[in-house]
Amino acid sequence: MDPHEVPTMEGSSTQPNTNEQHANQPHVKYGPIVPASLAHHATNLTRHSTNPLARTGSKETIRDPNLDVNLPYRTLSNEANLSEFTTETAAGEIPGPVEPDGEHRYKLVTFLPNDPENPKNWSKAYKWYCTMVVALTCFVVAFSSSVVTPDIVGVADEFGVSEEVALLSITLFVVGFGVGPMAFAPLSEIYGRRIIYGTTLLVAVIFIIPGAVAKNIATLLVARAIDGIAFSAPMTLVGGTLADLWRSEERGIPMAAFSAAPFIGPAIGPLVGGFLSDAAGWRWLYWIHLILAFIVWVLITFTVPETYAPTILAKRAKKMREQTGQQDYVTEEDIDKRPFGERIGIFLIRPFQLLFGELIVFLISLYMSVLYGLLYMFFVAFPIIFQIGKGYSAGITGLMFIPLAVGVVCSAVCAPLVNTHYRKLIAKHDGLPPPELRLIPMMCSCWLIPIGLFIFAWTSYERLTWVGPALGGFPVGFGFIFLYNSANNYLVDAYQHQAASALAAKTCIRSFWGAAVVLFTNQMYDRLGYEWASTLLAFISLACCAIPFLFWVYGERIRQKSRYAYAGDENEKIENAGEGLGPIVREDDSEDADLRRARSYVSNP
């Protein structure tokens, strides 16, 4: 038996010797690797489940119907058997590779059927509690980025610096959002999610205090930079936590709730911060920030247990070794990690190889950067239009963000309809939809951004009522979630097991652009005027509308010429699926393969 072969599906006759060798072992229950609609095409279902990154080169040559970008593809070696983390067995183990002595075989520890330590088996009420805690954490982090914006002038006046220097408190915080994930993503694959949540949020809470009591601008800026890096960890991990908790067919509503949080937070921040700064001054913006951050730190640290399957199983294997005295009980985390240098290359270099070497990643990242920059431009543009132009207070100006937040909520409510539509498209393509189908929501919603900006631009005359520019935020907010989720899903489907690196590249570049735009928004509105400055943004977003249509028409050809993207033909997909590449799933999850394909893989914006 091959050292990395695992038992075949029930009824398979392709490996008769395997059944003889394991006649005395409890039966292992696996689901098919291909969708049910294609099962009759697949033959030779012998399982050779290895890390898909082991394929020759980096080109994605097959479609993995059970793709889970939260598995540690990048941390574990090419020989790692990732099915360990997605399989439930009656014995709680599957055969592993041969040990160095050449006589014994490692036992890879798995979850048991209905295992209470498997987060997917927790009660629905507790899973919803955990979901609400991590979504609230995501909201507070996003809230933190914008709550300080209403009284930037107060900071500048107290410390005797220019408004641009005071705006660095936003810029450095958002830069941290781009830098932090490069470290926290690999650390979470090694140490688990809970310890990263707890330590980074604690650091963030501590360093809010120097900002609140700062005696000079340098202290404030350093504290904000550290907070941005620390707060980036929850934003990086929340999507994976929800994937840990919910099965594919249950994930629609929790993902919709989560995907709204990163956009509602920045919209609510100026609303709360505006009234608070009017009443108590800019320092209380940091104190309210501290109170909320401390609450979510307590909740997520002391009430949400570890959810990452590799970490849970690694602790179980260690406990079994201690109890039995047998060193055979291991996980792939124990025996098949990549060398440190290789991991550094994958986590730190691969994202930039994709960003600057892949047209799809570059243009999608460019589009998302424009949107992210637009969101942070609003934090500077709204005070210009409503406070300077119309003479409103910071609190009243904060109310103007309500239509933007309402648009985000409405789009979150409609998000499950997108997955329902996608399931229908899967059926029409016999379970093998091209990645470009993920672009349909983007092609429909991309027009909402320039529409909202044109409304915002040409109703912003000082003599006109507030209604026009405020309502211009609704279509912008409504379009955000559809665009972000569509972009994320397209990158996942197009780059498969390279998707985590593609998403990291997008997050990094968009954070740097979002950080930069706040520094020149004032000058842009001063030189171009209220109407034409916003119109320029509208035309830029209108030009970006061509990106999804470009990939709709030419995406397949671009993927075929790509070094990394998936571009196999239909026969190749079926043939390779039959060879058993990719993670194994439980039989009860494989009954509805369409649901598995229709899930939103990553909703983290």
| Two structure tokens written together for 89 | 């067995």
The SS3 assignment for 324 reads helix
Residue-wise pLDDT for 345-373, tens only, equals 888 888 888 889 889 999 999 999 999 88
Residues with Cβ within 8 Å of residue 246, at least 6 apart in sequence: 120, 127, 131, 254
For position 44, what pLDDT does the model report? 34
For position 538, what pLDDT does the model report? 93
Q: Closest Cα to residue 68, out of 86, 56, 93? A: 86
Q: Closest Cα to residue 150, out of 51, 295, 269? A: 269
State the average pLDDT for the chain.
79
Identify the bridge partners of residue 76 per DSSP, sorted by sequence position: 337
Residue-wise pLDDT for 519-570, tens only, equals 898 899 999 988 899 999 999 999 999 999 999 999 889 988 888 887 754 4
Residues with Cβ within 8 Å of residue 5, at least 6 apart in sequence: 18, 46, 47, 48, 95
Phi, psi dihedral angles at 545 (to 5 degrees): -60, -20
The SS3 assignment for 89 reads strand
Angle in degrees, 0-180, between the axes of helices 124-146 and 359-382, rounded to the nearest 10: 70
Most confident by average pLDDT, 29-33, 269-273, 443-447: 443-447
The SS3 assignment for 74 reads coil
More confident residue, 376 or 4: 376
Least confident of 1-5, 445-449, 502-506: 1-5
The radius of gyration of the chain from alpha carbons, rounded to an integer in Å, stands at 25
Q: Are 115 and 242 in contact (CB under 8 A)?
A: no
Q: What is the pTM of this model?
A: 0.78
For position 222, what pLDDT does the model report? 94
DSSP 576-595: HHHTT-S----HHHHT-HHH
Handedness of CA 310, 312, 316, 318 (dihedral sign): positive
Question: Interior CA angle at 60 toward 5 and 6, to 5°?
Answer: 10
Q: Are 515 and 481 in contact (CB under 8 A)?
A: no
Strands (E), 318-435: 329-330
Residues with Cβ within 8 Å of residue 454, at least 6 apart in sequence: 472, 534, 535, 538
More confident residue, 410 or 10: 410
More confident residue, 78 or 30: 78
The SS3 assignment for 38 reads helix
**pLDDT grade, residue 61 (50/70/90)?**
low
Mean pLDDT for the stretch of residues 110-116: 90
**Length reported for the chain:** 605
Identify the bridge partners of residue 584 per DSSP, sorted by sequence position: none
User: Distance (Å, rounded) from C-alpha 135 to C-alpha 296?
Assistant: 10
Determine what percent of the chain is predicted with pLDDT higher than 70.
82
The SS3 assignment for 141 reads helix
Q: Are 598 and 423 in contact (CB under 8 A)?
A: yes
Residues with Cβ within 8 Å of residue 192, at least 6 apart in sequence: 306, 308, 310, 311, 312
User: Distance (Å, rounded) from C-alpha 182 to C-alpha 184?
Assistant: 6
Residue-wise pLDDT for 72-102, tens only, equals 877 887 778 888 888 888 888 888 888 887 7
The SS3 assignment for 105 reads strand
Distances (CA, A) of 169 to 165, 220, 459, 495, 524: 8, 7, 30, 35, 20
User: Distance (Å, rounded) from C-alpha 371 to C-alpha 484?
Assistant: 9
Angle in degrees, 0-180, between the axes of helices 163-191 and 124-146, rounded to the nearest 10: 150
Cα 225 from chain centroid (whole Å): 22
